[in-house]
Structure 1
Amino acid sequence: MSSFSDKIIWITGASSGIGKALAIELSNQNAKIILSSRKINDLELVKKKCKNPNNVKIVALDLEDYTNLQSKVKEAIDTFGKIDILVNNGGISQRSLVKDTLIAVDKQIMDVNYLGTVTLSKAILPHFIRNKSGHFVVTTSIVGKIGTPLRSSYAASKHALHGFFDSLRAEHFKDNIVVTLVCPGFVNTNVSKNALTGNGTPQQKMDVATANGIDPDRFAKLMAKAIKNQKEEVYIAGVKEKLGVYLKRFYPKLLSKMIRKLSVT
């Protein structure tokens, strides 16, 4: 029997990329899935690809509209009667220099990646506390550990998630609430195409590194394993990206020199 049999798992950002692949993988492992994003038509397509579409439900939401997420939590809980795992996967990336990025873009990225995720998590937290069980899974980034060129606001939002969820984990360990921070490196999704430029418009092109990144289906299998094992923090990335995390910790000046050599065009 699968570790996820009859587990009820809510995934945000489930219409494409990592969220889509994870939904299909967990469905294959007999979980009941709730799919969320703004794109209902795309969610319907993901639902059809799942092993048992009857055990997949859709709750449309917009993380940027974070003042209206409380009702979405109630809707999600009512769908199957409870939530076992919330996968905070929804978000948006960035490709612009600090000097060229409008403050409105900084705000939008923080609203979606940080405040939307935090609001949703706070809204479901009482449900987890009452059940004396719950698992927050958060898709952050290697850039949540290391700031790199062209990603200042994105890196800030992901760093913020680490701070918030590390604190939440410490506060609610006694309530049997688990937090898993998943840090992807480059994954072959549309994240770079959808990334915001300095004026807020999507980049609309694929980065070479992203195109050469980990296949989403393979990533989803590794992410599912980390969730099953209740890892506190996991890096699913290439060798260079993982090396960067350890250099940041033990040889930060060396890493800074290496990062300065990265292209900013």
Structure 2
Amino acid sequence: MNFKNKIVWITGASSGIGEALVYELNQQGAKLIISSRKAESLYKVKQGCKKNLLDIHVLPLDLEQKPFLFSKADEAFKIYGRIDILINAGGISQRSEAVETESTVEEKIMDTNFWGTVNLSKALLPKMIDQGNGHLVVLSSLVGKFGTQYRSTYSASKHALHGYFDSLRCEVYDKGITVSIICPGFVKTNVSINSVTANGGKYGMMDTNQENGISASECATKILEAVDAKKEEVLIGGKEKYGVFIKRFFPKYFSKMIRKRKVI
């Protein structure tokens, strides 16, 4: 992989997969802009990097705050005068049944996961087209390919990303823009702990599947391999990723199987 001197903007950089991407890209000599809602956590991540800290710029943002994302993109672009890669790693997950989940919680998930990613990418896209190249990386999920219980709106937000960015890829393929959709399965992060429940509270527990998932650093390495190879879509994880193929070729069997699976 060759990311030396590449200018990479990462959202969701204060924890989990986003944080692991920061460390790996720093090791490879990339110039970074790191974003999330938590400025204090971002500075801790910056201090955890091993190489030139002057090449890491902290830019707090909240993906749910749609009106401010275009100005944040302008601010990010001015730091280095260009951005080569935008990695949309920010988002929130869900642990609640659809019938019990408040509509305001569903809107929050969609605003953060879907509209936040779309609006930030759209804000940056004209600048990438003007510079003649750019790479949009979207972190979806295996549940962006199929749904499971307790993830209705989260799954919907990820399905929506596939539809949007598959379409966008068709529109910008001749403008020097690459679009990669990354679909991780179970990764050992705090994503389940920070998931929202039916009324918007924190779930506060580590899922068994998450606990036994691959490490965030291993996931980050696989993501960057896919980005370096300019892959359109990649599945990352253990045996759970084969669910995508079972769903495609044996949908009735998959439906029966997934109903019986423990997903929390």
**TM-score normalised per structure 2:** 0.98
Q: Which residue of 2 aligns with 1:42?
A: 41
Provide the C-alpha distance between the structure 2 equivalents of 1:153 and 1:24, rounded to a whole number of angstroms. 31
Q: For structure 2, list consecutive stretches of 5 or more residues without a partner in the other structure.
A: none
Paired letter, 2:109:
I
Q: Which residue of 2 aligns with 1:12?
A: 11
1:56-102 CA-to-partner distances (Å, cap 9, x unmatched) read 00111000001111110011001111100000010000000111111
Provide the C-alpha distance between the structure 2 equivalents of 1:79 and 1:108, rounded to a whole number of angstroms. 29
8 Å CA contact 1:149, 1:262 repeated in 2: no
1:19-49 CA-to-partner distances (Å, cap 9, x unmatched) read 0000110111110010000100110011112
Q: Does 1:244 align with 2:251?
A: no
1:28-39 aligned within 5 A: 28-39=27-38
1:107-142 CA-to-partner distances (Å, cap 9, x unmatched) read 000000000110101100100111120100011000
8 Å CA contact 2:97, 2:149 repeated in 1: yes
Q: Which residue of 2 aligns with 1:100?
A: 100
Paired letter, 1:60:
P
Report the RMSD for the aligned CA atoms in angstroms: 1.0
Report how many residues are paired.
263
8 Å CA contact 2:148, 2:263 repeated in 1: no
Q: Which residue of 1 aligns with 2:109?
A: 109
Percent sequence identity is 53
Q: Which aligned segments of 4 or more residues in structure 1 are displaced greater than 2 angstroms?
A: 262-265
Provide the C-alpha distance between the structure 1 equivalents of 2:98 and 2:144, rounded to a whole number of angstroms. 17
Structure 2 SS opposite 1:124: helix
1:67-216 aligned within 5 A: 67-216=67-216
8 Å CA contact 1:183, 1:235 repeated in 2: yes
1:122-167 CA-to-partner distances (Å, cap 9, x unmatched) read 1001001111201000110000001000000000000000000001
Paired letter, 2:259:
R
Structure 2 SS opposite 1:191: coil
Q: Residue 264 of structure 1: CA displacement? A: 7.1
Q: Residue 262 of structure 1: CA displacement? A: 2.4
8 Å CA contact 2:188, 2:213 repeated in 1: yes
Provide the C-alpha distance between the structure 1 equivalents of 2:245 and 2:263, rounded to a whole number of angstroms. 23
Q: Residue 218 of structure 1: CA displacement? A: 1.1
Structure 1 SS opposite 2:183: strand
Q: Which residue of 2 aligns with 1:64?
A: 64
Distance of aligned partners of 1:97 and 1:77 in 2 relative to their CA distance in 1, 3 Å threshold: same
Provide the C-alpha distance between the structure 2 equivalents of 1:230 and 1:264, rounded to a whole number of angstroms. 31
1:186-236 CA-to-partner distances (Å, cap 9, x unmatched) read 100000000000011010111111011111111111111111111100011
8 Å CA contact 1:93, 1:191 repeated in 2: yes
Distance of aligned partners of 1:204 and 1:127 in 2 relative to their CA distance in 1, 3 Å threshold: same
8 Å CA contact 1:97, 1:264 repeated in 2: no
Structure 2 SS opposite 1:87: strand
Provide the C-alpha distance between the structure 1 equivalents of 2:2 and 2:206, rounded to a whole number of angstroms. 36
